[in-house]
Every structure is written in C-alpha cells, then in structure tokens.
Structure 1
C-alpha cells in the first residue's frame, strides 16, 4: 500500500524528514569531512533550515515529543525517525547572531552533483515545519506512540509524549523538501562531498 501527500504541513506526514542541525557545524565539520561521524550526536537550542532534492529511507516512524532548549523552554515537535536513509543534494543552514558584525549564516551542503548521496543510520529529527512531496509504502496511520515497531528504538533522553498519535511505514520517499527543525541525532552520518561556508547576513537554504 502507498500513500501520497503534497503541499503544506499536515500532522499525518509532518515528519518525513531528515538532516542534522548546523548550530554546531563549525565544531563537528572537521570530523564530518573525514567521512562518517561514527557516534551519536545531537544539536539543539536553535531552529535551522534544510532543503534536499530527495530523501529515501527505510524503517520510518513519527510521533509527538517535547524538545527542551538550552534555556529549558519546552517546544512541542514531531519526531521523524529512520533506520536508514539516503539524502540527495542536502543544504542546511542556521543564522547565528554575532556581536558587532550582526548575523552570520553557517551553511552546509553535501551529496550534491558529482557525489554520492548522504548516508545516515538511526536518524532522528525534531521537526517544526515541513513542505514536501511524500510517498509511504505499507504505512500505518494512527498508531499509538507506545506501539511503534518499524522505526529505530527510542533515542536516549527522548521526551516522547506517552500514547500520542503516531505513524510508521516500511519505506518513505520525500522529494523537493523544505523544512525547519530544532534538533537531530544519528548513529552514523556520512556527508559525501561536504562543503561548509560562512556568510555575513542571512543567506539561508530557502
């Protein structure tokens, strides 16, 4: 069975999603440029924007949770999780206020033309907003978050809403993606063809 959706954000497909935060890109950029970051990582506390031409993942689940920012503010999110995912032409950006000189945009790209797609395992994304075209294979909608079986096991320290609405699918394909997220973590994240740049002012992915 396949289910398709297009257009603005709806809860049923809100989290077909991907990619890591770049709030700490400068700190992890060297490690990522060497290939795979072979340990889980999470960056939160600031929204970041992401675009990608195509995300294809297996073992997908999505459920409600709460993201706790660095100032202890609680933000409701839709967590999207994949056992494995490949991401084509990834762009992610975050705007960081800097003293005296004003805003600085940190932008990261990978998996673009001439390079293999980005590869991720045990990928979790805390989503605020998403626009994309989505196709699900063998999808279960309206599953309790306590009874998910197709996606990865819950990540450590996760603040899942018990018994909340959830969905899961054997496979998910997302194209023409534009999204805003709060945080991410991945067991392994391999950024093929990584490039990172800094821009004065706002120069986001979209």
Structure 2
C-alpha cells in the first residue's frame, strides 16, 4: 500500500483500506446498483511486489446490488481456477461504507445531484482523496447492466442473501 497518510486519505469513512492488492483484478457484475453518498477520484494501489496500479477510488455510503456475481481468476502452479460468488436473484446485496478501487466500470449510469471537478479532499460522503486531485460526488447513483473490474473492495457491512460460492478449474468469469 501507499504511505499511511495516503491510505487514510483514500478510504471510506469507517473502512480502512490498508492491505496490499492481489496481482490481478476481480470482476463484479450486477443487473442493477442503487447507491447513496457517492464519491470518486483517481489514486494508486500497490501490490506487495511494489507494482502500482492506477485506480478510480469509489466510496458509497449505502448500496444495494441486484443479481450480483463476483469472480476472481487465480493462476497457480497447478493451473487456473475461478472463485465465483453469486447472490440470489430475489435478494438485494446490501452494503454500507463501501470502498472500491476500480480499473474500469461499465453500464448505464444515472447520477442525481452530481458535482464534477471538485477537489477530492473536499468530497463529502463515501471517500476523500488528496488535495488538488480531481474528484466528483453525487447524492445518488443508479447503474443498470453493471460490469466492474476491481482491485479491492471493503465494506463496513456486506450482506448477501441466498448466496452461493463455488470454485472451478479453468477461467469462468462472471458474464
């Protein structure tokens, strides 16, 4: 991770992001995300090897995801395996104090009460960045057909109803 001051400056209110990221991102898909207290700014995350990755640091005070699938592909000396976690179709995944480090995000987005070009150190809500860094915030955000590639996710509370987890040999990312 970056120096302690940088870590403290780029976290959601109650959730510290103080770990080195894995050497490969993971994928998250959902039919729909609904969030309140949204912030975003550019930052970096570091692996234990010292390799740095540019990320969009995103903070969400409250979030609900519908039709969630999360997958991580691991390349090991014995071969490739995929870990997948899915929520039930009839349950919303609920999260509070959610902090994500994203390499990309895709979907149909609708922001409510958005402010773009704000100094990241003055963001209110989800997370704050370093002074002088470009930031944006919104009171609410809805994304349909969500696809995310992420380096990390932390949350104060993360609740999945009717969830399943499986590990399979080979590459089987969420689609």
Relative to the length of structure 1, the TM-score reads 0.72
8 Å Cα contact 2:20-2:47 kept in structure 1: no
Query: Structure 1: 5+ residue runs without aligned partners?
Result: 1-38, 155-159
Distance 2:56 2:131 in 1: 13
How do 1:28-43 and structure 2 match up within 5 A?
Answer: none
Name 1:164's counterpart in structure 2. 133
1:152 CA drift (Å): 2.6
Distance 2:74 2:153 in 1: 18
* Alignment partner of 1:113 is 2:89: yes
1:184 CA drift (Å): 1.1
The one of 155, 175, 191 equivalent to 2:160 is 191
The one of 79, 96, 104 equivalent to 1:129 is 104
* Alignment partner of 1:56 is 2:30: no
* Alignment partner of 1:201 is 2:175: no
SS at match of 1:70: coil
* Alignment partner of 1:138 is 2:138: no
Which runs of at least 4 in structure 1 moved beyond 6 Å after TM superposition?
39-43
8 Å Cα contact 1:88-1:118 kept in structure 2: yes
Please tell me the root mean square deviation across aligned C-alpha atoms, in Å: 1.8
1:50 CA drift (Å): 1.1
8 Å Cα contact 2:59-2:127 kept in structure 1: no
What whole-Å deviation, never above 9, does each CA across 1:50-83 have from its counterpart, x for those lacking one?
Answer: 1100000000000111111121211110011110
Query: Structure 2: 5+ residue runs without aligned partners?
Result: 1-14
Distance 2:167 2:127 in 1: 35
Name 1:103's counterpart in structure 2. 80
SS at match of 1:146: helix
1:117 CA drift (Å): 0.2
1:130 CA drift (Å): 1.4
Name 2:3's counterpart in structure 1. none
1:120 CA drift (Å): 0.3
Relative to the length of structure 2, the TM-score reads 0.84
8 Å Cα contact 2:36-2:63 kept in structure 1: yes
Change (3 A) 1:161 1:77: farther
